[in-house]
Amino acid sequence: MLGQGVSLLKQGSSEAEGLTILRELSSDADLLPVDRAEARFLLAVHALSKGDDDGFSAELSELSGDLNASYFHSRLEELAKTRKLLGLAKSLPELNLSEGNAFLGTNRVRPGVKTLESGLQYEVLKAGTGSSPLSDDEVEVHYHGTLLSGEVFDSSVERGEPSKFGVGGVIKGWTEALQLMRVGDKWKLFIPSDLAYGESGSNSIGPNETLTFEVELLSITPRPEPVSPESNATLVLDPNSTALPSPVIDLNGSAVKPDGNKSLGDLPLKVDLNGSR
The answer to whether 56 is a known catalytic residue is no
The answer to whether 205 is a known catalytic residue is no
Which is catalytic among the residues 154, 205, 220, 250?
Answer: 154
Q: CB within 8 A of 167, min separation 6: which ones? A: 133, 134, 135, 136, 137, 138, 139, 174, 175, 178, 179
Specify the 3-state DSSP secondary structure of 49: helix
Which is catalytic among the residues 103, 171, 194, 259?
Answer: 171
The answer to whether 153 is a known catalytic residue is yes
Which is catalytic among the residues 41, 56, 122, 143?
Answer: 143
Burial grade of 133 (CB within 10 A; 0-12, 13-18, 19 or more): buried
Which is catalytic among the residues 137, 153, 259, 272?
Answer: 153
Q: Which residues of 202-229 are buried (b: 16+ CB within 10 A; e: fewer)?
A: eeebbbbbbbbbbbbbbebeeeeeeeee
The answer to whether 213 is a known catalytic residue is yes
Q: Evaluate whether 257 touches 267 at the Cβ level (below 8 Å).
A: no
Q: Give the up-direction half-sphere exposure of residue 223: CA atoms within 13 A in the CB hemisphere.
A: 10
The answer to whether 21 is a known catalytic residue is no
The answer to whether 41 is a known catalytic residue is no
Distance CA 201, CA 197 (A): 5
Query: Rounded to the nearest 5 degrees, what angle is found at the Cα of 182, between the Cα atoms of 177 and 188?
Result: 45
Query: Rounded to the nearest 5 degrees, what angle is found at the Cα of 10, between the Cα atoms of 9 and 15?
Result: 35
Q: Evaluate whether 246 touches 271 at the Cβ level (below 8 Å).
A: no
Which is catalytic among the residues 197, 205, 220, 250?
Answer: 197
Q: Which residues are identified as catalytic?
A: 143, 153-154, 171, 197, 213
